[in-house]
Amino acid sequence: MLSPLAEKLIDEYFNLPFPGVTGVRCPYFNNIRKRSRGQLRALVGKGTPKEIVEESKIISTQYRLGIFENDCSVCKQNLTPDDIRKFMIDHDLGIECSGFVSQVLRAHYRELKGVDFARKIYIYPPSKFLRYLISILRPIENINVQILADDRNSVAVNLGEAASGDIITMLDTHPTKKINHVMLIRDVKDGKIQYVHARTWSSEGKYGHGVMNGTIEIIFPKDNLMAQLWTEKNCNGEQNETFIEAKRAKLLQIRRLKI
């Protein structure tokens, strides 16, 4: 199991703390298309649930979008979680895979080992001075899948050794674009790896994506990850887009962070 603080944070991503509305699952947002520079963490897909809700509040207030009551203390009564998710997606609010994993691991290691995960990760060398400086000031924003999968930060482990807090990295999952993905192992029990990640599936359309749980049932312990049974949203095999993405990845590994 992850630490209670990390579990609480995951729950908050699944149920964003919007006052007066429950069940708002955090949507997916990746800054790669928008390429905002020097923006708030919550606006580049790296924010905590509280930061994301706070930013939703401010955007709703600034542009009079009617999500919150005038005093901002509570959401409007007639709003459903889907309305709020639609508002968030339309305004580029959400979390991306490495942002989600980094925030959860930060909470996990803070509670477990009393260390700041983001400060322990190798991001840029001091020789790249400007990048190095920015990564010191804004570590979470600069941690991406490649950095998590770097040998200086993590080490590959076998399927049988997988444990909570490990990550599943998928590098180069697209034939032409540089796309990577990361998932966090929440628990391993009864021969099943329970993972959580922030992702987008094409079958879910514009408004269906976000943080999601899934399992990998270990049916062939001596084989690799792709030989196991991946289940997410009651979909297996080719219906499971996470499985498809993993299949396309040039490098698929379970890695343990060197913290």
Partner 1 sequence: MPSAFSVQIFQQSLLFLIGATALAFALAPILTTILYKYKILRKAEFDYTLQGERGVKAGTPVMGGLLVIFVILIITMLFNWDRRYTYVPIGAMAISALLGAADDLLNVFGGKRRLRNIKHSLILIRIHQKWYMKIWHAVTLPWTAFRELTSIFGSKQDRGIQTHEKLFLQFVAGAITAWWVYSKLGQNWHTLWIPFDGSVDVGWLIIPIIIFFVMFTANAVNIADGLDGLVGGSLIMAFLGLAILSWMEGRTAFTPFNMTVIGALIAYTYFNVKPARFQMGDVGSLGLGTLLAINAIAINKTLLLPLLGFIFYIEIFSVILQVFFRRLLGRRLFKMAPLHHHLELIGWNEEKIVMRFWIIQAFVVIVAVWIALR
The C-alpha atoms of residue 45 and residue 58 are separated, in whole angstroms, by: 16
3-class SS shares of the chain: helix, strand, coil, % to 5 = 35, 20, 45
Greatest alpha-carbon pair distance for the chain in Å reads 59
Which one among 38, 114, 175, 205 touches partner 1, defined by CB under 8 A?
38
Please identify, using beta-carbon distances, which residue of 120 and 138 lies nearer to partner 1: 138
Hey, what's the torsion of the CAs at 43, 44, 49, 54, to 10 degrees? -10
- Does residue 112 belong to the site contacting partner 1 (CB under 8 A)? no
The C-alpha atoms of residue 164 and residue 172 are separated, in whole angstroms, by: 24
Shortest spacing between CB 64 and partner 1, in angstroms? 5
- Segment near partner 1 (CB under 8 A); pick from 13-21, 26-34, 51-59, 108-116: 51-59
Which one among 63, 129, 207, 220 touches partner 1, defined by CB under 8 A?
63
The amino acid at residue 33 is R
Which one among 5, 14, 17, 72 touches partner 1, defined by CB under 8 A?
72
- Does residue 41 belong to the site contacting partner 1 (CB under 8 A)? yes
Element of type H or E holding 213: strand 210-217
Which one among 114, 137, 176, 234 touches partner 1, defined by CB under 8 A?
137
The C-alpha atoms of residue 101 and residue 95 are separated, in whole angstroms, by: 10
Chain centre distance of CA 27: 10
- Does residue 64 belong to the site contacting partner 1 (CB under 8 A)? yes
Which one among 140, 167, 193, 254 touches partner 1, defined by CB under 8 A?
140
| Count of residues that bind partner 1 according to CB under 8 A | 21
Give the interface with partner 1 as residue ranges (CB under 8 A).
38-41, 44, 46, 51, 54, 58, 61-64, 70-73, 137-138, 140-141
